[in-house]
Amino acid sequence: MSRLLDITDLHIALPPESQRPYAVQKMNLHLEPNEIVCVVGESGSGKSLTARAVMGLLPKPRVRINQGSVLFQGEDLATASDDRLRQIRGSDISMIFQEPMTALNPVMTIGTQIDEVFRFHDKMSGKERRSRALELLRDVQLPDPEQALKAYPHELSGGQRQRAMIAMALALDPKILIADEPTTALDVTTQAQVLKLIKEMQATHGTGVLFITHDFGVVADIAHRVAVMQNGLVVETGTTDQVLRNPQHPYTQGLIAAVPELAPRAARPRSTETVLKVNNLQKTYRSGGGLFGGKGREVHAANDVTLDLARGETLGIVGESGSGKSTVARCIVRLNDAEAGEILLGDTDLRPLGRAAMRPHRSKIQMVFQDPYASLNPRTRIGKIIAQGPMMYGASAEEARKRTLELLEIVGLDNRAYDRFPHEFSGGQRQRIGIARALALEPEVLVADEPVSALDVSIQAQILNLLDEIRDRMNLSMIFITHDLRVAAQVCDRIAVMQRGKVIEVGPTAELFAAPKATYTQELLAAVPGKGWFLKEDAVQAQAT
Amino acid sequence: MTFWKLFARNRGAVVGLIILLLITFMAATASLFFPEDPFSLAGQPMSPPGENGYLLGSDSLGRDVAAGIAHGAKTSLLIGLLATLVAVFVGIVMGALAGYYGGVIDNLLMRTTEMFQTIPSFIFAILLVAIMKPSIESIVIAIAVVSWPAVARLVRGEFLSLRNREFVQACHTLGMADIRIMLGEILPNCLSPVIVIGSLMVATAILIESGLAFLGLGDPNSMSWGFQIGAGRTLLRSAWWVCTFPGIAILLTVLAINLVGEGINDALNPRLRERT
Q: What is the pLDDT of residues B92-115, one digit of tens each?
A: 999 999 999 988 999 999 999 999
Residue contact A375–B167, C-beta within 8 A:
yes
Residue contact B175–A363, C-beta within 8 A:
yes
Measured CA to CA in angstroms, residue A312 lies from A148, A328, A449, A472, B212 at distances of: 50, 20, 18, 7, 72
DSSP state of A290: -
Q: How far is B175 from chain A (nearest CA, A)?
A: 5
Residue contact A335–B189, C-beta within 8 A:
no
Number of C-beta neighbours around residue B53 at 10 A: 11
Q: Per-residue pLDDT tens for A479-496?
A: 999 988 888 888 899 999
DSSP for A416-462? GGGG--GGGS-HHHHHHHHHHHHHTT--SEEEEESTTTTS-HHHHHH
Model confidence at B162: pLDDT above 50: yes
Q: Are A448 and A328 in contact (CB under 8 A)?
A: no
Question: Which pLDDT value is given to residue A460?
Answer: 87
Average pLDDT value for residue range B222-234:
86
Question: Which pLDDT value is given to residue B124?
Answer: 93
- Return the residue of B nearest to A376 by Cα: B167
User: Which residues on A lie below 8 Å from B167 (Cβ)?
Assistant: 374-377
Residue contact B166–A370, C-beta within 8 A:
yes
Residue contact A366–B173, C-beta within 8 A:
yes
Model confidence at B275: pLDDT above 50: no
Least confident of B14-28, B38-52, B223-237: B38-52
User: Which residues on B lie below 8 Å from A369 (Cβ)?
Assistant: 166, 169-170
Q: What whole-number distance in Å separates Cα of residue A142 and Cα of residue A151?
A: 12
Residue B203: partners with Cβ closer than 8 Å, 6 or more residues away: B80, B253, B254, B257, B258, B261
Give this complex's ipTM: 0.77
Residue of A219, A193, A177, A210 lying closest to A141 (CA atoms) = A193
Model confidence at A538: pLDDT above 60: no
Bin A530: left if φ > 0, else alpha if -120 < ψ < 50, else beta. Answer: left
Question: Which pLDDT value is given to residue A294?
Answer: 58
Q: What letters, b where the CB count within 10 A reaches 16 and e where it falls short, cover A291-305? A: eeeeeeeeeebbbeb
Model confidence at B269: pLDDT above 70: no
Q: What does pTM read for this prediction?
A: 0.80
Q: What whole-number distance in Å separates Cα of residue A422 and Cα of residue A482?
A: 25
Where does A303-418 have alpha helices with state H?
A: 325-332, 355-362, 382-392, 397-410
Least confident of A389-398, B49-58, B132-141: B49-58
Q: What whole-number distance in Å separates Cα of residue B91 and Cα of residue B144?
A: 10
Residue contact B170–A369, C-beta within 8 A:
yes
Q: Per-residue pLDDT tens for A213-257?
A: 988 888 888 899 999 999 889 999 999 888 888 889 999 888 888
Q: How far is B156 from chain A (nearest CA, A)?
A: 19
User: Which residues on B lie below 8 Å from A367 (Cβ)?
Assistant: 169-170, 173
Q: Are A422 and A433 in contact (CB under 8 A)?
A: yes
Q: What are the backbone angles phi and psi of residue A272, rounded to the nearest 5°?
A: -90, -10
Q: How far is B80 from chain A (nearest CA, A)?
A: 30
User: Which residues on B lie below 8 Å from A371 (Cβ)?
Assistant: 166
Taking only Cα atoms into account, the Rg of chain A, rounded to an integer number of angstroms, comes to 25
Number of C-beta neighbours around residue B138 at 10 A: 19
Residue contact A371–B166, C-beta within 8 A:
yes
Residue A418 burial by Cβ neighbours in a 10 Å radius (0-12, 13-18, 19+): middle
Residue of A66, A54, A44 lying closest to A230 (CA atoms) = A44
Number of C-beta neighbours around residue B16 at 10 A: 22
Question: Which pLDDT value is given to residue A536?
Answer: 46
Q: Are A31 and A224 in contact (CB under 8 A)?
A: no
Where does chain B have alpha helices with state H?
A: 3-8, 11-28, 30-33, 65-101, 103-118, 121-131, 136-162, 166-174, 178-180, 191-214, 225-232, 241-268
Residue contact A369–B189, C-beta within 8 A:
no
Local structure of A207: helix, strand or coil: coil
Q: Per-residue pLDDT tens for A414-451?
A: 888 888 888 888 888 999 999 999 999 889 999 999 88
Question: Which pLDDT value is given to residue A273?
Answer: 85
Q: How far is A392 from chain B (nearest CA, A)?
A: 7
Residue contact B174–A389, C-beta within 8 A:
yes
Q: How far is B172 from chain A (nearest CA, A)?
A: 7
Residue of A482, A478, A431 lying closest to A453 (CA atoms) = A482
Question: Which pLDDT value is given to residue A544?
Answer: 43
Model confidence at A510: pLDDT above 70: yes
Q: Per-residue pLDDT tens for A330-348?
A: 999 988 888 888 899 888 8
Q: What whole-number distance in Å separates Cα of residue A535 and Cα of residue B5?
A: 58
Question: Which pLDDT value is given to residue B20?
Answer: 92
pLDDT band at residue A139 using 50, 70 and 90 as cut-offs: confident
User: Which residues on A lie below 8 Å from B192 (Cβ)?
Assistant: none
Q: What whole-number distance in Å separates Cα of residue A462 and Cα of residue A432?
A: 10
Residue B179 contacts A where some CB pair is shorter than 8 Å: no
Question: Which pLDDT value is given to residue B18?
Answer: 94
Q: Name which of B165, B169, B276 is nearest A335 (Cβ-Cβ).
A: B169
Model confidence at B17: pLDDT above 70: yes
Strands A176-180 and A64-72 turn out to be unpaired
Question: Which pLDDT value is given to residue A545?
Answer: 40
Residue contact A392–B175, C-beta within 8 A:
yes
Q: What whole-number distance in Å separates Cα of residue A134 and Cα of residue A145?
A: 6
DSSP state of B182: I
Strand residues in A154-250 grouped as ranges (E): 176-180, 208-213, 225-230, 233-239
Question: Which pLDDT value is given to residue B14?
Answer: 93
Q: Per-residue pLDDT tens for A293-315?
A: 556 677 888 888 999 999 889 99
The helix, strand and coil proportions of chain A, stated in percent and rounded to the nearest 5, come to 40, 25, 35
- Return the residue of B nearest to A448 by Cα: B170
Q: Are A378 and A407 in contact (CB under 8 A)?
A: no
Residue scoring higher pLDDT (B149 or A301): B149
Model confidence at B235: pLDDT above 90: no
Q: How far is A366 from chain B (nearest CA, A)?
A: 6
Residue contact A375–B173, C-beta within 8 A:
no
Average pLDDT value for residue range A123-149:
87
Give the number of A-B residue pairs with CB atoms closer than 8 Å.
Answer: 53
Residue scoring higher pLDDT (A464 or A121): A464
Q: How far is B177 from chain A (nearest CA, A)?
A: 9
Beta bridge partners of A299: A285
pLDDT band at residue B31 using 50, 70 and 90 as cut-offs: confident
Residue contact B175–A371, C-beta within 8 A:
no
Number of C-beta neighbours around residue B170 at 10 A: 25
Q: How far is B5 from chain A (nearest CA, A)?
A: 14
Q: Per-residue pLDDT tens for A370-385?
A: 888 888 988 888 999 9
Residue of A80, A96, A219, A217 lying closest to A162 (CA atoms) = A96
User: Which residues on A lie below 8 Å from B276 (Cβ)?
Assistant: 62
Residue scoring higher pLDDT (B2 or A521): A521
User: Which residues on A lie below 8 Å from B176 (Cβ)?
Assistant: 388, 392
Question: Which pLDDT value is given to residue B270?
Answer: 55
Tell me which of A361, A377, A421, A431 to substitute to probe the interface with B (most B C-beta atoms closer than 10 Å).
A377
